Chains A and B, each alone.
Chain A
């Protein structure tokens, strides 16, 4: 079954600290993996998109890694800011019919002063 699992479910860190969010998937055949940031009550915003051949991609203080062999991805946030408080969602693209996207449930991150 095509699934995307994220951990931890929630996380609280202090401003200025780093953190790493995890994503494990069983989607096959694999097309791409995306990380989205979703502020409460707002639409998701794309942070990174990686294909099979890419194992790391950065967007400012956000760095995503992909290990297609172990089907794992991580999102590392450096020097966290209060505005990083949001839900971070891992999404895996299926390379099969209709290029379906499989959405994780997200990790809720709270950055406290």
Chain B
């Protein structure tokens, strides 16, 4: 157990729907990062939050949004889902904002049908 908790582990939904993925960082970690990994693709950085504020943005679609709450857990919202959004979504956390040596959760597998 890495200490980073992601729920749900699996999610199956239809095109056009909206889903919310949840991440609880390791105790003491202030930064949360979201990544997308499509089949046979490398990890794509989506977005980073540090202590409740957006810190960095990567290749995140406008249909996707995220936030980090005062208790430091984070949610990634995916809307108007398309078949191509099917992927593993990973959350990682670190103590500082500079993303040095962070820890990944076990991921949420999203299948859009």
Residue numbers of A with Cβ under 8 A of B are 32, 34, 41-46, 49, 89, 93, 98-101, 103-106
Q: Name 26 A/B residue pairs within 8 A (Cβ), A-sorted.
A: A32-B100, A41-B107, A42-B106, A43-B92, A43-B104, A43-B106, A43-B107, A44-B90, A44-B104, A45-B104, A46-B101, A46-B103, A93-B100, A98-B55, A99-B98, A99-B99, A99-B100, A100-B56, A100-B58, A101-B99, A103-B44, A103-B45, A104-B42, A105-B41, A105-B42, A106-B42
4 further A-B contacts with Cβ under 8 Å, apart from A43-B90, A98-B48, A98-B56, are: A42-B107, A44-B104, A98-B55, A104-B42
Distance to closest chain B CB from A8 (angstroms): 15
Chain A residues with CB below 8 A from B103, complex form: 46
User: In the docked arrangement, what's the CA distance between A58 and B43, Å?
Assistant: 24
Min distance, Cβ B46 to any Cβ of chain A, angstroms: 12
Spell out B's residues near A (CB within 8 Å).
Answer: 2, 4, 41-45, 48, 55-56, 58, 88, 90, 92, 98-101, 103-107, 109
